[in-house]
Amino acid sequence: MADKNAILAGLAEIVEEETGLETEEVQLEKSFTEDLDIDSISMMTIVVNAEEKFDVKIPDEEVKNLTTVGDAVEYIANAQG
């Protein structure tokens, strides 16, 4: 099973690069739009970078279901198997 802490850390780096937010602010319960103020275009950039970093596929229709950072970590962990 993929290490969720490692996924969270990796995702936080991607979010920091795209938005300038500190990595510590990227926590599991945070909502991408409500808490982190990430818009739909930045979200797509984060998704594509996450696909590359974690070697997974995140289809467009799945992106709408990734409300929180935790949702994304969970999805990536499951996709990695």
CB of 40 to another protein, least distance (A): 5
Q: Which is nearer to another protein, 59 or 81 (CB)?
A: 59
Find where tokens 């602010």 sit: 25
Residues whose CB is less than 8 angstroms from the CB of residue 49 and which lie 6 or more positions away in sequence, other chains included? 14, 17, 18
CB distance 43 to 69 below 8 Å: no
CB of 3 to another protein, least distance (A): 27
Cβ-based neighbour number of residue 34 at 10 Å: 10
Q: Active-site residue among 39, 55, 60, 71?
A: 39
Q: Which is nearer to another protein, 15 or 43 (CB)?
A: 43
Interface with another protein (CB under 8 A) = 39-41, 43-45, 47-48, 60, 63
